[in-house]
Structure 1
Amino acid sequence: MIAQRTAWNNFPDVILHAEELAVKKHPTYSAAKSGDADAAFALVQDTISTDAVSKLRDLIADRKIILVSAHAFERDGVNAIPEAFADELGRQLEQSTDDSIVQVNVVAHTGANGFARLARQALFDGVVVAGADYILVDDFIGQGGTLANMKGFIENAGGKVIGATVLTGKPYSAILTPSAEQLTELRDKHGKEFEHWWQDKFGHSFDCLTQSEARYLARTENVDTIRNRLATEE
């Protein structure tokens, strides 16, 4: 089973709410990541941004949407932050939430390097409402692969993902759609044969990478290093 991805089609940048340190140094962060719902609620209340909520409201406009959160398995339990975050957003935006779409594998991305994130792709399952508009919700964005895979799963099942929001992450990570210049740099450096290999291994071309993933691969010295590092992290 491989992760599903779909074309970006000018997907909007992920809406960020808080600085990374404000989230990760919060006194309830560890407990929330390990599954404590009360800790997750306290974290969300302290870090959710009114400006970011306003941006989401503008993105939604007059549509009825579904907020869907990434239920990720961590080493110590199921991360409770995304669901608490989605619930609070649903309350503030007066929109519905869905907790039936779940991540079905353990990827251990927290604190992982870029190759580990690329090698261990998040897989999703659950019921998608065909024709419905979705916004993806997560606690953190690194390379953006989890959001890309959740988007692909939903859209291949008949839904439409119109945006995404996370509590925190680097601003450059919020740009999911790879630029034409970034894709050209990646293809020029590593060649068509490597893109064909990537397609066979991961089920998608470079066009479905996130901007951060494409940048990470382009900055790696050669194809052999990429293949070896991916094999080590699988």
Structure 2
Amino acid sequence: MSSLAAQPPRVPWGDFPDVLIHANESAVKQHPAYKAAKSGHGDAAMALVADTMNLGQNAALQALMGARKPILVSAHAYEQEGVNAIPEIFADELSKTLGWPVDPSVLQVNVVAHTGADGFSRLARQAEFAGTVQAGCDYVMVDDFVGMGGTLANLRGHIETQGGRVLAAVCLTGKPHSAKLSPTQSRLQELRAKHGRQLEEWWIERFAHGFDALTESEARYLARTASFDLIRDRIAQSQQA
């Protein structure tokens, strides 16, 4: 199998809206239920979501969607301790609040161990998704955390390459600068100026997408890396690990 065929699909971002983040990292990660929720305990996840879900962000999401009633789909992530329960519970609570349907059939099918990983490890070990998508339907992605945004990028790629339309993303927490998923033109210009065509051609061969399907955080990370050789070597090391 070629490296192209093995890669999770992605699509260019266009004018995708910023992620709606509900709470700051400390409020979520220092919550007494966080560790249990992250390792798969549903009751702990419900307690965490109840204490940190932001009604103002729910209103902002509803305003963004207008009269549409998109399908909520969560990024079920495998962690070393178990299946992260937070995204699914968060999606269920959003469904109750907003009156939108939830589709639990789209699942992450590999273990990427992103929690605590560095940027190269996140770029090298990308989430893969499977599950039936309703072609022609609108979707909103739900996750517990947005860092570099790669998991959301790959979830969106899975949905859109099967005919769905992803309109927005919402996360319980994340880094404020990571809310922007669509890379700016100035960032893409910076990245191409830094590494030339060599990196993008290698990236397309290795990951089956160009720079316009990177997230803003991924593009920034690559632009701040010293050389193409360093990027190539660190990604290869992370994939082997």
Q: Normalising to structure 1: TM-score of the pair?
A: 0.99
Secondary structure, aligned partner of 1:163: strand
Alignment of 1:7-86 (within 5 A): 7-86=12-91
Aligned match of 1:106: 111
Secondary structure, aligned partner of 2:32: coil
What stretches of structure 2 of length at least 5 have no aligned partner? 1-5
Aligned match of 2:167: 162
C-alpha distance in 2 between matches for 1:92 and 1:200: 43
Aligned match of 1:215: 220
Q: Normalising to structure 2: TM-score of the pair?
A: 0.96
C-alpha distance in 1 between matches for 2:228 and 2:236: 12
C-alpha distance in 2 between matches for 1:7 and 1:211: 12
C-alpha distance in 2 between matches for 1:154 and 1:27: 34
- The residue identity in structure 2 corresponding to 1:196 is E
Identical pairs, percent: 59
Aligned match of 2:180: 175
Aligned match of 1:145: 150
Deviation at 1:232?
A: 1.3
Deviation at 1:206?
A: 0.5
Deviation at 1:195?
A: 0.5
C-alpha distance in 2 between matches for 1:130 and 1:115: 33
C-alpha distance in 1 between matches for 2:101 and 2:93: 11
Deviation at 1:204?
A: 0.2
Within the candidate set 81, 84, 101, 1:96 is matched to 101
Secondary structure, aligned partner of 2:170: strand
Secondary structure, aligned partner of 2:225: coil
- The residue identity in structure 1 corresponding to 2:14 is N
C-alpha distance in 2 between matches for 1:85 and 1:110: 18
C-alpha distance in 1 between matches for 2:30 and 2:156: 29
C-alpha distance in 2 between matches for 1:164 and 1:83: 14
C-alpha distance in 2 between matches for 1:22 and 1:29: 10
Deviation at 1:64?
A: 1.7
Spell out structure 1 runs of 4+ moving beyond 3 A. none
C-alpha distance in 2 between matches for 1:39 and 1:170: 23
Secondary structure, aligned partner of 2:171: strand
What stretches of structure 1 of length at least 5 have no aligned partner? none
Q: What is the root-mean-square deviation in Å for CA atoms of aligned residues?
A: 0.5
